[in-house]
A and B are shown apart, each in its own frame.
Chain A
Amino acid sequence: MLETLDRAVGGERLIGAAAIARGANGEPVLLGCKCTACQKEMVPPVSVCPVCGGEDMREAVQPDEGVLYSYTVVHVGPKRFRRPLALGYVDLDNGVRVFSHLEGDTFKIGERMKFDVAIVGRDPDETDLTGYVFRKENGQ
């Protein structure tokens, strides 16, 4: 079993931590799961398959790249996240769709995005919130 960030560093404020693990070289990877019955993969890891009800779910490290399916920049919602907040759906190369915070100034539907971990907000007690993000592949 991979070490997820919530198991590794329980003290920090983590958002979506169940889907963030440490890869072979210690780098953060996006963790999902695969149902051994219906072969569907999904993010985050869950113990029972929401597609077929199967209970034999295996951890599956997800591709760290995908294509931006759609996005929006939100000016309302939970105050703990940055405002305005860029949110989007990224379609990974294995067919899984991931909801994610986005890093960058401008976005384009169809552009390639890369997985990363970053500060995504701050609670009223000044504690930073860490979560997974997708940012443009060219690093902007």
Chain B
Amino acid sequence: MSQANIIGVGMTRFGKYPESHLADIAWPAVKSALADAGIEPGAIQAAYCGSALGGMMVGQSILARIGMTGIPITNVENACSSSSTALQQAVMAVRAGKYDTVLVIGAEKLTALGGGTLPLNEDDWEASQGMVMPALYAMRAMRYMHDYGLTREQLALVSVKNRANGAKNPDAQMQKPVTVEEVLASRPVADPFTLLQCCPTGDGAAAIIVASDKAAKKYAGKHPIRVLASDLTSGRFTPGFRDMTSPEITVRGSAEAYEEAGVGPQDINLAEVHDAFSIAELIYYEAFGFCARGEAGAFLESGASAINGKVAVNPSGGLLAKGHPVGATGAAQVVEVVRQLRGECGARQVPDAKVGLTHATGGGLAGFDHGACSIHILAR
């Protein structure tokens, strides 16, 4: 069995491109990843494309722009985990020996929806009664504050940290640092969240070239990044009590990923986690074992999750600052971790980064923590 390696990455800066077709937002990311790997388009054997709301045949429409058709193209929809699931499929195909060179794309154009909260399935019991994603995360936050004494200021600090990181990332949608006071004074969305504690709506794309050991030797102009773990799981339905302060899908997924990689939380130098709302990042510190249950607020305040801290969390700015064009998010997290592991991140570079992880979870469904979760652990 071959290992899977990442030999090239690229992305289109997250932002608002209402006048552009999704394919035109995405193809530059593909070309950039190909150039980064030093591989010619004709050498790519298959493509997996993640998009949640882009409609049918997103992968074909992107690759038709740049003469890359005639290969197997698989379109993947798994809500906010769409392109991380696409990567998981690509890694599986390379490890199985089916392909030596695979392209992964994540692409989304949320401005096509006209703004507001993400549309959920109308036939979902809770969505039909007014459930929206900010409300789901807000209830997690309210319970966490009740159980562990987390303050509104500590919650706001997540946005402050990630906006500061995003200001150092040219690919981030939000480029302006903010203060705790500004976060708390922004307009209320779902108590305890104010606007600056919610990820922005936007468009964007990211691309990754996955290669077998053989192909990595042939093409990688830069040091290939090894995929130590590629995990995908789904949420477990429960009609009864559920501890909303501990995300069962991520707790389970992180244990699976650590086991596959043969590493533990102490080995992780940086993590791109799914901070769709401020509380999420805090809950994920605990789910990944970066700190103990109930200690996330203090962990953040101590600077342990800052770029120079014990584990740099969301050095790219995360979903809160880099943006969250949902289907593109998982692939873009991988772009950041690969660049960090290669030492290419300039002002936001995590010192001596050796091992990093990405985590994209998605899907608001009644009875679930989330519908899908995909975690990757990468090493240089």
Contacts and interface: CB of A to CB of B under 8 A. Distances in A.
Interface of A: 15-16, 40-44, 50-51, 69-78, 81, 84-85, 87-89, 91, 95-97, 99-101, 109-110, 121, 131
Nearest to B141: A72
Contacts of A87: 129-131, 135, 139
B117 interface: yes
A88 B139 contact: yes
Contacts of B141: 72
B190 A75 contact: yes
A50 B289 CA distance: 31
A62 to B, nearest CB: 11
5 contacts: A43-B239, A70-B139, A72-B141, A77-B134, A121-B130
A101 B367 CA distance: 17
Contacts of B135: 72, 74, 77, 87
Contact of A70 (B128, B142, B239): B142
A101 B129 CA distance: 8
A51 B240 CA distance: 11
A70 B140 CA distance: 7
Contact of B142 (A71, A96, A99): A71
B188 interface: yes
Interface in B3-58: none
B190 A72 contact: yes
A87 to B, nearest CB: 5
Give the top 7 A-B pairs by smallest Cβ distance, nearest first: A42-B239, A72-B138, A70-B139, A70-B143, A77-B132, A74-B190, A109-B146
B146 to A, nearest CB: 5
Contacts of A51: 237-239
B244 interface: yes
A109 B239 contact: no
A51 B128 CA distance: 21
Given A70-B139, A109-B142, A109-B146, A40 B129 contact: no
Contacts of A84: 188
B116, B142, B188, B238: residue with the most chain A Cβ atoms closer than 10 Å: B142
Contacts of B139: 70-72, 87-89
A50 B236 CA distance: 10
Contacts of A131: 129
A50 B190 contact: no
A50 B239 contact: yes
A110 B241 CA distance: 13
Given A44-B125, A51-B237, A75-B190, A70 B132 contact: no
A110 B146 CA distance: 10
B126 interface: yes
A76 B240 contact: no
A97 B129 CA distance: 15
B117 A101 contact: no
A72 B191 contact: yes
Contacts of A95: 240-241
B251 interface: no
Interface string B192-206: 100000000000000
B142 A72 contact: yes
A41 B366 CA distance: 15
A74 B128 contact: no
A109 B143 CA distance: 8
A76 B190 contact: yes
A75 B132 CA distance: 11
A77 B120 CA distance: 11
Contacts of B134: 74, 76-77
B128 A16 contact: yes
Given A76-B117, A76-B189, A81 B130 contact: yes
A43 B126 CA distance: 11
B65 interface: no
B198 to A, nearest CB: 9
A50, A69, A88, A101: residue with the most chain B Cβ atoms closer than 10 Å: A69
Interface string B234-272: 000111111010000000000000000000000000000
A110 B191 CA distance: 17
